[in-house]
Structure 1
Amino acid sequence: MLAKMPEFIDPILLADRNASIEGELPVSSLDRLAAMLSNDDGNVAVKLFFGKVGKLATVEGHISAILAVKCQRCLEAVEWPISSDIKLAVVHSLALANKLSDGYEPLYLADEEKIPLKNIVEDELLLSLPDIPKHQHDCIAPNSPKNMSARSHKAGEAPMESPFSILAELQNQKKLETKNGSTKK
């Protein structure tokens, strides 16, 4: 096991050595992911084991983190726990990727031998995030009528008047005029 999390890794060399990597990466170092979060505090726990299945270099392991995503209803932060298993096979072509056995996802290496470790972790986290994150409880959108009236009641203000209340008043006025026998036009 490596003592420090390396910035770049050579998965084939690590697989030849049956190496493992264990440690934490700061969420703030994951640029693509950080842009989708309410804040980039915290760390991602990473455990990766490199080995071989036949001639194929493999990367297996687990990542876990608690990410602060934006609720798509109320736009407030939601703590979203992620716990994901990784099972990758290193391939150099699309043909090899199509021949992978069940359970393995391709880790495509073109010409480079070393790749950023954070790319593997970040890709897995992005795949684990929900399309539309939201609170488990019923939260209210910030500009919804329910939320506006709740806010005004809390602040001691009168509830916001409906734009259709004028029409209702005109209709009531017309009914009264008709009842009283008035035929103003």
Structure 2
Amino acid sequence: MTVKRLYRYHFLIMLDHLPDLLDPFEFADKKRRIRGAYRLLAMDRVRDLLLSPEGDAEVELEFRREGRHAVVAGQITAELTLQCQCCLERLSWPVRTEVRLGIVRSIDEAKRLPDDLEPLLVESEAAVKPMDIVQDELVLAIPIIPQHRSCALPWRGDATERPAHPFAALAQLKKNLS
């Protein structure tokens, strides 16, 4: 291990609990990493989208500098319980999402971020709730129409199996009357 590497790891601090608020720029400057879990029940924006808000979201986030940009990167893992929109039964939805955000203070800064970074806009008070980052990522991971792979809708087969148009009978009746 080189001296440079020893110096780098000397300042890498791992927090095993998730703070309620943090200054992302300070955390990036100090190369801080946080790890822990949030209860799904405590996440108001996610809880309302779930059939059952049981379980946790495991979080590991690293704050660092990449050039002139403050960055938060890591992953979020959770097992969400959704409702299948075809059969209305429970649907287990595993989530493992990668987080890669550029921390910015304005829209102009966001426009200057590299393409591989999504902006995380921080207001003037420079405090961020890590739970908000987790909730945003989980909401994005939930499909618009959750359904089991085995639930087959009638129109999912080939074109010959498609059901008749609901107004086909009316069209035929109209044609017969004319």
Is TM more than 0.5 here? yes
Deviations 1:110-146 (A, max 9, x none): 2121111110000011111111100121278xxxxxx
Task: Quote the offset at 1:103 in angstroms.
Answer: 0.8
Corresponding residue for 1:73? 86
Corresponding residue to 2:23 among 10, 20, 23: 10
Q: Distance in 2 between matches of 1:45 and 1:78?
A: 20
Structure 1 partner of 2:104: 91
- Indicate the RMSD between aligned Cα atoms, in angstroms: 1.2
Please point out which of 43, 68, 75 is paired with 1:62: 75
Partner SS state of residue 37, structure 1? coil
Instruction: Note if 1:21 corresponds to 2:26.
Output: no
Distance 2:125 2:82 in 1: 33
Q: Is the 8 A contact 2:87 2:151 kept in 1?
A: no
Q: Deviations over 1:135-173 (max 9, x none)?
A: 121278xxxxxxxxxxxxxxxxxxxxxxxxxxxxxxxxx
- Distance in 2 (alpha carbons) for counterparts of 1:61 and 1:7: 18
Task: Look up the match of 1:100.
Answer: 113
Gaps of 5+ in 2: 1-13, 154-178
Is the 1:46–1:63 contact (alpha carbons within 8 Å) kept by the matching residues of 2? yes
CA contact (8 A) 1:74 1:139 kept: no
2:134 counterpart (92, 115, 121): 121
SS of 1:69's equivalent in the other structure is strand
- Give a deviation string over 1:6-35, Cα, whole Å, max 9, x none: 111211111011000011111111101100
Q: Are the counterparts in 1 of residues 60 and 75 from structure 2 also a CA contact under 8 Å?
A: yes
Q: TM-score, normalised by structure 1?
A: 0.73
* Alignment CA distance shift 1:39-1:78 (3 Å): same
Q: Find the counterpart in structure 2 of residue 182 from structure 1.
A: none
Equivalent position to 1:47, from 39, 56, 60: 60
Identical residues among aligned pairs (%): 36
Letter in 2 for 1:80: W
- How many residues get paired? 140
1:131 pairs, out of 127, 144, 147, with: 144
